[in-house]
């Protein structure tokens, strides 16, 4: 890949997109293009078509999505399904019409069946029912994977889909109504620490197992996919190891310095019992994650502290 190649990163202000931007700059790419949501509404087909036609990028990286945790996904299934399909369909269609040969689509491990055999292999896609609390988002992402595969098969274009496990890191969403589990824990434990080490109540039983990937590792996987023509259309991106939510909570509690009690509200849903990615395909090609979970959480907490003023305090 020529370092002067024009690369459009959709969603470049988000956690994933901004990490990709930093990783590409660090790798010597200096012709990067980004548009804020105010500048370009990716849900608007004609606007996206016009932008891609005018800008003429060599590569499109789709890191744009409407995302959220269990609460947001379960309450806004319509929006998560519709808006994510609009975003990705508009980008993929515009890339195809402008004959862009390289497209990297980012999805999520939630595309796999809820009770699929662990660890999750790429070939398990569409072999069983999804987790109902986020099937709107999952179905949207599955459709994006299949659309990229169809273009790859039918038109021989280098469209590839990367499915990350649970991502976290700098620029994460710490809003308690819409955030994922790890940033929500960081904020809850931090604010409880400030409130005389108040009790922290967490959803579920703590028994589900989850895999977590630092966003900087994800960005390096995207750089790897950019600089190599991957032989298949779909790849899992993760660490290949997981922890229980209970162990995660205790790790976050230790790093934050909270010394209070943890209470588990088992009236709330656990979600999928386990989501561990089989990352052997990417590892065989030469990429693997390098950030230990403790180090990644500490890095994320430090970023949160530096940006704490942007988050309103919650009443505990």
Average model confidence (pLDDT) across the chain:
94
pLDDT, residue 315, reads 37
pLDDT, residue 270, reads 85
CATH classification at residue 225: 3.40.50.720
Consult the annotation and say whether 141 binds a ligand: yes
Does residue 101 lie in a domain region? yes
Consult the annotation and say whether 270 binds a ligand: yes
**What average pLDDT score do residues 73-91 get?**
92
Instruction: Quote the domain boundaries for residue 53.
Output: 7-172+211-241+275-291
- pLDDT tens figures, 51-63: 999 999 999 999 9
Whether 137 is a known active-site residue: answer yes
Does residue 139 lie in a domain region? yes
Does residue 142 lie in a domain region? yes
**What average pLDDT score do residues 138-147 get?**
97
Q: Could you give the number of structural domains in the chain?
A: 1
Residue 311 pLDDT grade (very low, low, confident, very high; cuts 50, 70, 90): low
Does residue 164 lie in a domain region? yes
Alpha-carbon 303 to chain mean position: 18
Which is the catalytic residue, given 29, 112, 137, 168?
A: 137
Residue 312 pLDDT grade (very low, low, confident, very high; cuts 50, 70, 90): low
pLDDT, residue 37, reads 93
Using alpha carbons only, what angle is made at residue 51 by residues 49 and 53, rounded to the nearest 5 degrees?
65
Consult the annotation and say whether 107 binds a ligand: yes
**What average pLDDT score do residues 136-159 get?**
97
pLDDT, residue 288, reads 98
Percent of the chain with pLDDT over 90: 85
Which of 13-16's residues contact partners 24+ apart within 8 Å by CB, and which partners?
13/37, 14/63, 14/64, 14/171, 15/167, 15/169, 15/170, 15/171, 15/172, 15/173, 15/215, 16/63, 16/106, 16/164, 16/167, 16/215, 16/218, 16/219
Q: Which two tokens stand for residue 163?
A: 């499915």
Percent of the chain with pLDDT over 70: 97
Does residue 268 lie in a domain region? no
- pLDDT tens figures, 64-75: 998 776 677 778
């Amino acid at each position: 890949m020529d370092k002067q190649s024009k690369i459009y990163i959709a969603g470049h202000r988000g956690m994933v997109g901004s990490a990709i931007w930093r990783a590409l700059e660090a790798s010597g790419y200096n012709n990067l293009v980004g548009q804020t949501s105010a500048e370009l509404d990716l849900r608007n087909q004609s606007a996206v078509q016009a932008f891609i036609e005018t800008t003429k990028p060599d590569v499109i990286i789709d890191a744009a999505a409407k995302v959220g945790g269990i609460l947001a996904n379960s309450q806004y299934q319509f929006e998560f399904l519709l808006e994510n399909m609009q975003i990705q369909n508009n980008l993929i269609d515009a890339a195809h019409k402008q004959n862009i040969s390289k497209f990297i689509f980012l999805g999520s491990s939630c595309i796999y069946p809820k009770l699929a055999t662990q660890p999750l292999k790429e070939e398990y896609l569409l072999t069983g029912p999804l987790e109902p609390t986020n099937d709107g988002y999952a179905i949207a992402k599955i459709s994006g994977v299949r659309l990229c595969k169809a273009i790859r098969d039918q038109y021989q274009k280098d469209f590839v889909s990367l499915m990350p496990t649970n991502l976290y890191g700098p620029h994460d969403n710490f809003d308690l109504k819409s955030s994922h589990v790890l940033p929500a824990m960081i904020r809850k434990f931090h604010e409880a620490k400030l409130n005389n080490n108040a009790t922290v109540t967490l959803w579920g039983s703590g028994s589900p197992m989850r895999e977590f990937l630092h966003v900087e590792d994800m960005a390096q996987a995207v750089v790897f996919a950019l600089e190599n023509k991957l032989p298949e259309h779909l790849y899992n991106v993760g660490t290949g190891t997981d922890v229980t939510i209970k162990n995660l909570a205790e790790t976050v509690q230790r790093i934050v310095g909270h010394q209070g009690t943890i209470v588990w509200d088992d009236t709330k849903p656990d979600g999928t019992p386990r989501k561990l990615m089989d990352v052997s395909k990417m590892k065989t090609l030469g990429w693997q994650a390098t950030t230990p979970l403790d180090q990644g959480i500490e890095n994320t907490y430090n970023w949160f502290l530096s940006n704490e003023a942007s988050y309103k305090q919650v009443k505990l």
